[in-house]
């Protein structure tokens, strides 16, 4: 299917690994111009080897100045950014009894502010052009409270509200803002999270993985490419009337409205 994304400029934060990398590769396959951002130059270089013609920038997106500079640099190299996919940052999974004020703040910095600090300068450019699409890859932890993901889940929930609020505020300016919330997906982040789950339950990682998959009605985790396919569709004109919602993708594990 031709989604009409040829020559669109797409910025994917967290685009060097996992879901972010899968999104970058999927947009590239549609003919888009790709920019990725990561904190690690090594990860950026490895990702760029799989995406011919893409550019990559390193930045710590929990710092608003670095996020704004990153947006400026990419705009200077590729022109106006048509589509932003936020996939950078993940809150560390922490058992409730190990939470501290620092852990709560770290979760918001890693997941919430890394998105907001990128959205803020870019959405202002989109408002001026009366055109733009923002896709936030969030996570189902914002829909239900997990004992090992309370702080991160709170950040996810805040992003869901920000997604809905920004979409409502700027729909009249030609801007769409949509969220995608994966459940367990075959990524390094989920593998790290399973370590915390295993520790809290007194299990091996293999036992924790099997127990987690057993809770998914579809019987497996998602593949990063499956999430990316949805992101690419939502960023296309085929989804031109979809905004202000967060779409869950967890294999029916969380049957909520």
Note whether 235 and 133 are within 8 A (CB): yes
38-47, 164-173, 205-214: least confident range = 205-214
Structure tokens at 82: 């048509």
> Residue 32 and residue 16: Cα distance in Å, rounded?
17
Name the pLDDT band for 146 (thresholds 50, 70, 90).
Answer: confident
- The pLDDT assigned to 137 comes to 98
Structure tokens at 119: 């959205």
Q: Please indicate whether residue 58 or residue 254 has the higher confidence score (pLDDT).
A: 58
In a domain, 30, yes or no: yes
Name the pLDDT band for 2 (thresholds 50, 70, 90).
Answer: confident
> Residue 144 and residue 136: Cα distance in Å, rounded?
18
- Domain limits for position 39: 9-187+223-249
In a domain, 2, yes or no: no
> Residue 102 and residue 97: Cα distance in Å, rounded?
13
3: Cβ–Cβ under 8 A, 6 or more apart, which residues?
Answer: 30, 232, 233, 235, 236, 237, 238
Q: Which residues of 92-102 are buried (b: 16+ CB within 10 A; e: fewer)?
A: bbbeeeeeeee
In a domain, 115, yes or no: yes
In a domain, 92, yes or no: yes
Name the pLDDT band for 143 (thresholds 50, 70, 90).
Answer: confident
User: How many domains does one find in the chain?
Assistant: 1
**pLDDT of 148 higher than 80:** yes
Residue range 129-138: mean pLDDT, rounded: 98
Q: What percent of the chain has pLDDT over 70?
A: 100
User: What's the pTM value of the predicted model, to 2 decimals?
Assistant: 0.93
In a domain, 241, yes or no: yes
**pLDDT of 51 higher than 80:** yes
Q: What angle do CA 115, 103, 66 make, to 5 degrees?
A: 35
Per-residue pLDDT reduced to its tens digit, 78-131? 999 999 999 998 888 888 899 999 999 999 999 999 999 999 999 999 999 999
Per-residue pLDDT reduced to its tens digit, 189-226? 888 778 877 887 889 988 989 989 999 999 999 999 99
- The pLDDT assigned to 10 comes to 98
* Average pLDDT value for the chain: 94
Domain of 117: which CATH number? 3.40.50.720
């Amino acid at each position: 299917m031709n989604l009409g994304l040829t020559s669109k400029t797409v910025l994917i934060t967290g685009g060097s690994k996992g879901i972010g990398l899968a999104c970058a590769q999927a947009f590239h396959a549609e003919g888009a111009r790709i920019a990725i951002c990561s904190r690690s130059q090594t990860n950026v270089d490895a990702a760029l080897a799989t995406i011919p013609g893409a550019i990559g920038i390193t930045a710590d997106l929990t710092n608003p100045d670095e996020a704004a500079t990153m947006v400026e640099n990419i705009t200077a190299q590729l022109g106006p950014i048509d589509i932003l996919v936020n996939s950078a940052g993940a809150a560390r999974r922490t058992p409730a009894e190990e939470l501290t004020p620092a852990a709560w703040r770290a979760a918001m910095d890693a997941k919430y502010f890394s998105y907001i600090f990128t959205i803020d300068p870019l959405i202002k450019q989109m408002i001026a052009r009366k055109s733009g699409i923002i896709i936030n890859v969030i996570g189902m932890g914002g829909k239900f409270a997990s004992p090992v993901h309370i702080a991160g889940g709170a950040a996810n929930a805040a992003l869901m509200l920000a997604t809905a609020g920004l979409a409502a505020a700027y729909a009249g300016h030609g801007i769409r803002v949509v969220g995608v919330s994966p459940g367990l997906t075959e990524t390094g982040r989920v593998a790290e999270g399973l370590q915390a789950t295993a520790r809290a339950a007194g299990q091996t990682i293999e036992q924790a993985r099997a127990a987690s998959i057993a809770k998914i009605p579809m019987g497996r985790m998602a593949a990063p490419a499956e999430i990316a396919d949805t992101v690419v569709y939502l960023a296309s004109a085929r989804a031109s009337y979809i905004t202000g919602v967060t779409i869950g993708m967890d294999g029916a594990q969380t049957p909520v409205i």
